[in-house]
Structure 1
Amino acid sequence: MTTVSAPYGTWHSPVDAALAASHDGHPEYLGSVGEEVWWTAPRPAEGGRRTLVRRRADGPELSVLPAPWHARSRVMGYGGTPWAAVPRPARGPLAVFVHFADQRLYAFEPDAPEGAAPRPLTPVSRVGGGLRWADLQIHPERGEVWGVLEESTGEGPGDVRRVIAAVPLDGSAAGDRAAVRELTDARHDFVTGPRLSPDGRRAVWIAWDHPRMPWDGTVVMLADITAEGVFTAVRPVAGGTGESVPQAEWAPDGSLLFVSDHSGWWQLQRIDPDAVGGGAVPRTTLCDRQEEFAGPLWKLGHRWFAPLPDGLIAVTHGRGAAVLGILDPHTGELADVPGPWTEWEPTLAVDGTRVRGVAASPRSGHEVVELDARTGHARVIGSPHTDPVDPAYYPEPRVRTFTGPDGREIHAHIHPPHHPDHTAPEGELPPYVVRAHGGPTSRAPLVLDLEIAYFTSRGIGVAEVNYGGSTGHGRAYRNRLHGQWGVVDVEDCAAVARALADEGTADRARLAIRGGSAGGWTAAVSLTTTGLYACGTISYPILDLTAWATGGTHDFESRYTESLVGPPAEVPERYRERSPIHRADRIRAPFLLLQGLEDTICPPEQCERFLEVIAGRGIPHAYLTFEGEGHGFRRSDTMIRALEAELSLYTQTFGIPRTDVPALDLKT
């Protein structure tokens, strides 16, 4: 086939915005229900809802919940495991799920006679955001489902309490808040769902308090359980203000397993709960590697490890990535799972010797994978990847480490322009978009992303920067952002962009910055400080630190800036100096602002105030808002419009002639 020479950015590609939108999202919150495997799955074309999918043993995938049922929790803004199910001989499974629209718990029997609808288990509250639930566990022997209850006590975002609570499965609490049995008090600002010991006599969970985030410091709580199901003798057994424990589970022998970053890395540890007393509890590190065996607890119910009945432990681990391995806790030996998957999500489930998870790679999307720990054989059992276009159009990423200010390391994924049938004229350098991930305590995984392919297959490179503060490289790397948000992240993105230009990989005059949420903050700050980028795309961003930290966001992140920036009362000038809304006069580059109108984490009010400051300054810009969208876009029509608008911004700014996307109306 003849290769066509055409300028970067003009290449024609079968990866259109509709295709990228249709493949957005992936299986999540996976669990074993007897021999079946269940998970939630995205439906972008159905208003962005998530359905509940079941796969029978060696059978087909079936959607458990028809539209408009939507299994998604709002707890802590980002949610958590929104369902639980148990098998019942001869009757089929019983499922309980959170319906997104009203956040009530519903019971559902998918094998019941046709027409049996979900029935409510919890009441509606008219106070604030009402009653919200996540991280569920059904206990049929007690006739209850346990989970985290987040309850509004007023109309403000901080008027909220969180407890572990039990809900009757018979529906008696559907109209009676008093029938919801609280298992803990509200002494802690945040809690995860409890895990019962093998003998049912104890429960363990994780708690933490403002101003700490769960990756700063958490406490592992232990309680005895009476025959009546009451928690007693509640006491801490691990963790602390400077130690992050994102997951705790029981081993089959009754010992307690948890992941702690006490060493500077999230590592798997074990304690004997019977040794808990007045002093320090002896702990054993099960695999002493300088790798991460967990990640940031953004959503309740994430599982980075899962004990097997024979004492082995399925674990995700790695540096800058998370692969699946089987750990022998007695020898410390770790055997990784064979196969093409290079990134495993924090959602593991076990059924006997079978381990189920969600995994992807740079050449394949997220799939549901099952490992037989006895044989070492792994296979795809759900949501199988199929190539929607010729894989020749996929990006060919490179994992790189750059040098930033003061010689510090910066980790990034570089996706050069790539097309099987196109090359650029000799001597031309490509435009590049620098992507700052959200969080900011998170990272960009190296997996197939058709949104990236949308740009690279058209001749626009993409650089994903895991700037200082990102996870995957230990606590010291994560803590680089302490007090330095808006500095280190901006410097690291700029260092990667400059390095690409200096080495002749990217066109220095055609660099763009983009990001969403915390990445939107980084993109906006970059436009006000660096003078490096020709344009930027800013999605659902933080633009005013002071407003965001004083009641302008949800409770979970309301004091996040105390570690990222500093206590507002002590460094108020820092909040003002770094906020793009107070630096808007320094912006010289065109930008695109994208915002969901139902966003409670980064409300549209900040964008509106920012635009008022920009008005009349002669800076080309566009502001697109989307009804029915919250923090992060989930509807296919929204994603199509946003992606095409972003491409139009780049083609107009970089002088790339394209007529196959709607022109973005840039106002001044």
Structure 2
Amino acid sequence: MNVPRGSSARPENPAPGRWPSDFSAAQAVAASADYSDLCCADGALWWLTFRPEQGDSVLQRWQDGVTRTVTPQGHSVRSRVYEYGGGSFCVLPGEFEPDCLLVFVNEADQQLYLQCPEGQRLEPLTQHPECRYGGLCADLARRRVLAVEEAHLPGRVEHRLVAIGLDGSRQLLASGADFYHSPQVSDCGTQLAWIEWDRPDLSWTRTRLMLATLAADGSVAQVQSQAGADEALQQPRFDASGQLCCLSDRSGYWVPWLFADDGPRKLPAIAADHAPAPWQQGSNTWLPLTDGWMALSWSEAGYGHLALRHSVSAEERRLAHAYSRFRHLCSDGKALYCIGASPSCTAAILRIELATGELTRLLGEDTTLGVADLSRPERLLYLSAGGESAHGFFYPPRNHAQKLGQPPPLLIFTHGGPTSACYPVLDNRIQFWTQRGFAVADLNYRGSTGYGRPYRQRLQGNWGVTDVEDVLAAVDYLSQQGRVNPAQVFIRGSSAGGYTTLCSLVAGAGRFRAAASLYGVSDPLQLRAVTHKFEADYIDWLIGDPDTQPERYVERSPLAQAERIRTPVIFFQGLRDAVVLPSQTEQMVAALDDNGVPVHCVTFADERHGFRQAAHLAQVLEEELAFCQAWL
């Protein structure tokens, strides 16, 4: 790696970007524990905790004020259906004794295991090494588990809905569609709903809501579609009266609809997205309650809100005002539980009394950074190409021991997906940079979720163009506002964000001092050839048909356009990555090196797509910072 000379600042008066800080990479990573799959069952609250130090996910239970880990040592609960998983466990009450039973997906072999958390019982429920399981749902009336089954067969991958009995018996419920998502059983046990779709559609472009009758033996009968012609549906739920509800974007936003016998009817809700794109199983951003009430979370201008709303009167009660993102809602009838996050808290498990709105934090802590050190997100709204608006969040440098006497360097964050989003909540990676004098712009470029269907669809055919326009426009906007130093702009991104980062280096030659790509896409045509089934048509949707529009794949391939990149780049790659294969990074590194561009590559032998081990996450932050500081 070649490092420019004369770039170090005087220790007694460090320039922005070189501020010393006690907030280390290890501390930033240690504070990144997360929770998911919250549910109420058997008189307790259950959830998964991701532990970065161990690199695993364990099931925990909260009951009578006590939190207990129930996953046996040596196991990790995580599904890899569609590679992104979700819905990795469910709880069934005990039949003849007070002990409940758990069914979970073991990360190592992707099989279902039956566990009695109060005893020593732990046994495999499935033994199909060619299959993975996810999206688990308890069928309480029949004491069995419904699941999405992903079968890796010679030359193909098949998906179906299955029921697995507690004796290991298997019953096929639905097959023939390319994808299945979110099975749900009515409380009475007579109805089954799910989401399905076929290629080339995607889970956020067009799906079908299916409703079926369950016979006494558990088989499926009278299957009918409840979907319209051009809508994406997600998170089907049965309300207290047994009527089917679901989020649909037919009105332009994901909002709840009631699918009654006389036709679908939109339920009262703010005209805003009530869910992100359904990459994973098990999402729960809204919930029908009793007496006509619903618990709803939604996003406005990127900020999350939570409320109770009546499905007839539209009466609203806002909740948890200090929080700006809400996930995995569930209820025990007395309280609403959710995973919340705020600008000062990465993730917390919240309990909210339905009658009074009183909030109690069960788990999760505010940042250890003081008020003078915490950089809070500011809404970023600016004009991009064609006069269209683009969104994001701006984080100014903050360090109580330093004064900002000049415009700071800017680091652009480009999120993955790309049909995803960033949120105005505590991200310790961002604080790691702002502590050292960098300003950070976390962008929700056009094509991100949370701003309605038309905004989400803006990347169709335009990946590598629209997102890049928004990156360059953000740099111009912040420079013109005097918020950043236009001569010290850096950019980084992971996965699809790595692709946007590399494409920005091609289009914005000379505008960036250095860049970082974490398991990023460098050749979309290669990705298209080897990617997994869930994303097999995604590249065509994002760029176009390579048979009829081959020129797009040349124009928008950072690898093919490598000679136009003169910016130093550091790469990070997991060698077990099945989404963006290591060969993509290897070829990009070689191409830049051949062109004399300063380049460095860090690989991790046991990481997949998205790093999980704390030591590796800390190493990434430290090496990325050192690389960027070398080019200040």
Q: Does the 8 A contact of 2:339 with 2:349 survive in 1? A: yes
What is the alpha-carbon distance in structure 2 between the residues aligned to residue 563 and residue 649 of structure 1?
A: 35
Q: Does 1:328 pair with 2:317?
A: no
What pairs up with 1:63-462 in 2 under 5 angstroms? 63-88=69-94, 90-112=97-119, 116-125=120-129, 130-154=130-154, 159-170=156-167, 173=168, 179-185=169-175, 187-240=176-229, 242-272=230-260, 275=261, 282-319=263-300, 320-345=302-327, 347-381=328-362, 383-424=363-404, 426=405, 428-462=406-440
Counterpart residue type for residue 36 of structure 1: A
Deviation at 1:11, TM superposition (A): 1.5
Q: Does the 8 A contact of 2:413 with 2:441 survive in 1? A: yes
| 1:131-162 per-position Cα deviation (integer Å, ceiling 9, x unaligned) | 111111233542321111111112x5xx2111
What is the alpha-carbon distance in structure 1 between the residues aligned to residue 239 and residue 591 of structure 2?
A: 57
Q: Does the 8 A contact of 2:182 with 2:235 survive in 1? A: no
Counterpart residue type for residue 165 of structure 1: V
| 1:49-106 per-position Cα deviation (integer Å, ceiling 9, x unaligned) | 111111113x221111143210000000100110011233743221110010000100
Deviation at 1:267, TM superposition (A): 1.3
Q: Does the 8 A contact of 1:102 with 1:124 survive in 2? A: no
Structure 1 residues 288, 32: closer, same or farther in 2, change over 3 A?
A: closer
Specify the SS of the correspondent of 1:253. coil
Counterpart residue type for residue 151 of structure 2: E
Q: Does the 8 A contact of 1:6 with 1:423 survive in 2? A: no
What is the alpha-carbon distance in structure 1 between the residues aligned to residue 228 and residue 612 of structure 2?
A: 36
Q: Does the 8 A contact of 1:165 with 1:184 survive in 2? A: yes
Q: Does the 8 A contact of 1:217 with 1:239 survive in 2? A: no
Q: Does 1:21 pair with 2:29?
A: yes
Q: Does the 8 A contact of 1:93 with 1:110 survive in 2? A: yes
Provide the residue aligned with 2:4 in structure 1.
Answer: none
What is the alpha-carbon distance in structure 2 between the residues aligned to residue 87 and residue 72 of structure 1?
A: 22
| 1:384-440 per-position Cα deviation (integer Å, ceiling 9, x unaligned) | 21433434322122112011111111111000111112113x3x2211100111111
Provide the residue aligned with 2:5 in structure 1.
Answer: none
Unaligned runs of 5+ in 2: 1-11
Aligned positions, number:
618
What is the alpha-carbon distance in structure 2 between the residues aligned to residue 193 and residue 417 of structure 1?
A: 42
| 1:358-398 per-position Cα deviation (integer Å, ceiling 9, x unaligned) | 001001221001111111212112x2214334343221221
Counterpart residue type for residue 392 of structure 1: A
Deviation at 1:616, TM superposition (A): 2.4
Q: Does 1:34 pair with 2:42?
A: yes
What pairs up with 1:500-515 in 2 under 5 angstroms? 500-515=478-493
Q: Does the 8 A contact of 1:415 with 1:456 survive in 2? A: yes
Q: Does the 8 A contact of 1:146 with 1:193 survive in 2? A: no
Specify the SS of the correspondent of 1:76. helix
Specify the SS of the correspondent of 1:284. strand
Q: Does 1:484 pair with 2:462?
A: yes
Counterpart residue type for residue 418 of structure 1: R
Provide the residue aligned with 2:567 in structure 1.
Answer: 589
Specify the SS of the correspondent of 1:322. strand
Provide the residue aligned with 1:601 in structure 2.
Answer: 579
Q: Does the 8 A contact of 1:549 with 1:558 survive in 2? A: yes
Counterpart residue type for residue 367 of structure 2: D
Q: TM-score, normalised by structure 2?
A: 0.95
Provide the residue aligned with 1:639 in structure 2.
Answer: 617
Specify the SS of the correspondent of 2:534. coil
Q: Does the 8 A contact of 2:458 with 2:466 survive in 1? A: yes
Specify the SS of the correspondent of 2:540. helix
What is the alpha-carbon distance in structure 2 between the residues aligned to residue 454 and residue 391 of structure 1?
A: 15
What is the alpha-carbon distance in structure 2 between the residues aligned to residue 620 and residue 52 of structure 1?
A: 44
Q: Does the 8 A contact of 1:396 with 1:418 survive in 2? A: no
Q: Does the 8 A contact of 2:32 with 2:346 survive in 1? A: no
Deviation at 1:288, TM superposition (A): 4.8
What is the alpha-carbon distance in structure 1 between the residues aligned to residue 546 and residue 31 of structure 2?
A: 41
Q: Does 1:548 pair with 2:538?
A: no
Deviation at 1:537, TM superposition (A): 0.5
Counterpart residue type for residue 123 of structure 2: R
Specify the SS of the correspondent of 2:61. strand
RMSD: 1.5
What is the alpha-carbon distance in structure 2 between the residues aligned to residue 315 and residue 228 of structure 1?
A: 35
Specify the SS of the correspondent of 1:477. helix
Quote the sequence identity (%).
32
Q: Does the 8 A contact of 1:164 with 1:193 survive in 2? A: no
What is the alpha-carbon distance in structure 2 between the residues aligned to residue 181 and residue 215 of structure 1?
A: 29
Deviation at 1:200, TM superposition (A): 1.6
Query: Which moves more between the two structures, 433-442 or 392-401?
Result: 392-401
| 1:236-269 per-position Cα deviation (integer Å, ceiling 9, x unaligned) | 01244x2010111101112111111101111111
Deviation at 1:117, TM superposition (A): 5.0
Deviation at 1:24, TM superposition (A): 2.1
Deviation at 1:353, TM superposition (A): 2.9
What is the alpha-carbon distance in structure 2 between the residues aligned to residue 167 and residue 506 of structure 1?
A: 57
Q: Does the 8 A contact of 1:339 with 1:378 survive in 2? A: no
Counterpart residue type for residue 235 of structure 1: Q
What is the alpha-carbon distance in structure 2 between the residues aligned to residue 572 and residue 527 of structure 1?
A: 22
Q: Does the 8 A contact of 2:232 with 2:250 survive in 1? A: yes
